[in-house]
Amino acid sequence: KDFADDAEDGQVEDMDISFDSLPTNKPDKGSQTVAEIFEPPCITLPMNCTISSHTICYVCRSYIDGSSTTIAAEDRDMIFLTKNVMIREGSRCCRKHLEDHRLTPASINII
């Protein structure tokens, strides 16, 4: 059918759309929802997460009295990849855990 002809005469055709004929990788179990058909595959990974706070240190878990700082993105990535621990962006720690704005090796071992 040529849809250009319809556009010229100004008429709109009602179309009946059915998802029943779409291919799926799932065995036929009767009716499926559109979400089930298009659901992307996923992998569940167990991981640990530190606390995220402006008043509690994510390294030693003590209340921060005085100045604190956020962790560098490089340190967050390194800890995630090596220790499977996620530190949320914006989490704060005591300044005693840092040297030159980076976590000390002793602090990394605590996490």
What are the tens digits of pLDDT across the range 56-102? Answer: 898 899 998 888 888 889 999 999 999 988 888 888 888 899 999 89
For residues 33 and 9, the model is more confident at 33
Host domain of residue 81: 48-110
Domain count, the chain: 1
Quick check: is 7 in a domain?
no
Please state, for a pLDDT cut of 90, what percent of the chain lies above it. 16
Mean pLDDT over each residue of the chain, to the nearest integer? 75
Nearest to 72 by CA among 97, 53, 47: 97
Phi and psi at 36, nearest 5°, equal -70, -35
Give the pLDDT score at 79: 92
Quick check: is 75 in a domain?
yes
Q: Distance between CA atoms of 76 and 59, rounded to whole angstroms?
A: 12
Give the pLDDT score at 46: 79
Quick check: is 86 in a domain?
yes
Count other C-beta atoms under 10 Å from residue 46's C-beta: 5
Quick check: is 81 in a domain?
yes
